[in-house]
Amino acid sequence: MGNRVPREDYEWVYTDQPHADRRKDILAKYPEIKTLMGPDPRLKWIVCMMVLVQFLAFYLVKDLDWKWVLFWTYAFGSCINHSMTLAIHEISHNTAFGNSRAMWNRWFAMFANLPIGLPYSASFKRYHLDHHRYLGGDGVDVDIPTEFEGWFFCTRFRKFVWIILQPLFYAIRPLCINPKPITRLEVANVAVQLSFNVALYWLCGAKPVVYMMAGSLLGMGLHPISGHFIAEHYMFLKGHETYSYYGSLNLLTFNVGYHNEHHDFPSIPGRRLPLVKKIASEYYDDLPQYTSWVKVLYDFIMDDQLSPYSRVKRRLKGDVKLE
C-alpha cells in the first residue's frame, strides 16, 4: 500500500479538446441529432418524485435506532442523494424548462438541492459550464485536482483516502483554482437550504438531518456510483481524456455514464444520449469505455501508474469567458 505513483505532473497537451470537432463532424453527417436537443419534459416530474421520496424517508428514519439510521443512510439515502446531484447536473444544462426559462431551471435546481443538505446547486452551474467550455483548462476547469492532491495522494492507501474525501475536495477546489465573486443566486441557495435544514431539525429531530447530510457525503465518497468521478476524465489510457460507461447504474444517474456523448452534445438531455450513440455509433463504439464503476475505483487505487495527476491539462489561448 506504500508504492508511490511515479507520475509527478499532469498530462499536458497542446491541442484543443476533441469534443467540438467530433460534434461538428457528427452533425454534418447526422443533422437529425439536432432534434434531440431541448428540455426533457419528464425530468421535472422525476426530480419531484425523488425529492418526495427523500422527504418520506426523513419521516420514516426519525424514530429508528441509530444503527438503522446509519444503515439506511448508506444503503438508500446515499444512492438517492448522489442521484439528486446528477439531477442538478442535468438541470444546469437547462434541460428541465429549456433555455428560454433559464431562471426557472435555477430555482428548480435549488428545490432539487433540498434533500442533499449542502447548498451547492447555484455554484455548480457556474463552474460546470466552464468545465465543458474549457475542458482541462489550466486555472479554469475545477474538475482537475490541485497540485497538492496530485503530490500527496500518490500511494494506494492515500488514493483510497482521497476517494473517501472526494466531497471535501470538490467543495474546496474551486476556491483554490478559480475563485469567483459570490452571486445573489448563491446567497439565495444558501439561505433556502439552511432554512430547510433548520426546519427539518425542528420538525423531525437530529436523525433525519444526519441521514440527509451523511447520505450526501457517503454517496459522493467511497460508493459504487461515485466511480463516475474517476471514470469520466482520468487518463487510464494515454491520449484519451473522456470515457463513457454503458452499465446499469446509468438508470440511477440520468445517463451521466454516456460521457463522451454528453460532452459532444451538452444540450441533449441524459435520457436521449443513448439515441446519440445509436445514431452515430461509428464515432463511439471504438472509443475506450467502462462496464463497471466499482472496477474503475479498484483499478484507480491499485494501479501504481494512476493518481490525481492522471488528467489531461491544457493552457488556454485567447480570451477566456467565464460564467
Terminal-to-terminal C-alpha distance of the chain: 41
The Cα 120–Cα 117 span in angstroms is: 9
Q: Residue 5 falls within a domain, yes or no?
A: no
Q: Residue 140 falls within a domain, yes or no?
A: yes
The Cα 141–Cα 131 span in angstroms is: 5
Q: How do beta strands 244-245 and 289-290 pair?
A: parallel
- Quote the pLDDT of residue 1: 58
The angle formed by the CA atoms of residues 256, 259 and 265, to the nearest 5 degrees, is 100
Q: What pTM does this model have?
A: 0.93
40 Cβ partners below 8 Å, 6+ apart? 90, 95, 96, 269, 270, 271, 272
Q: Residue 321 falls within a domain, yes or no?
A: no
How many percent of the chain have pLDDT more than 70?
A: 98
The Cα 165–Cα 221 span in angstroms is: 6
The Cα 109–Cα 96 span in angstroms is: 9
The number of residues making up the chain comes to 323
Max CA separation in the chain (angstroms): 59
Structural domain range at position 105: 11-314
pLDDT digits (tens, 9 = 90+) for 270-318: 999 999 999 999 999 999 999 999 999 999 999 999 999 999 999 988 7
Residue 21, number of CB atoms within 10 A of its CB = 12
Q: Residue 320 falls within a domain, yes or no?
A: no
- Quote the pLDDT of residue 105: 97
322 Cβ partners below 8 Å, 6+ apart? 126, 130, 140, 178, 180
Q: Residue 299 falls within a domain, yes or no?
A: yes
The Cα 170–Cα 172 span in angstroms is: 6
> Using an 8 Å Cβ cutoff, are 145 and 311 in contact?
yes
The Cα 264–Cα 37 span in angstroms is: 12
Joined together, the cell numbers standing for residue 100 give: 428560454
Joined together, the cell numbers standing for residue 162 give: 482521497
Joined together, the cell numbers standing for residue 63 give: 424514530
Please report how the helices 184-204 and 206-219 are oriented relative to each other, as an axis angle in degrees rounded to 10.
Answer: 130
Q: Residue 137 falls within a domain, yes or no?
A: yes
The Cα 212–Cα 116 span in angstroms is: 6
Which residues, given as ranges, of the chain have pLDDT below 70?
A: 1-2, 319, 321-323
- Quote the pLDDT of residue 148: 96
Residue 224 phi/psi, 5° resolution? -55, -40
Q: Residue 106 falls within a domain, yes or no?
A: yes
Domain count, the chain: 1
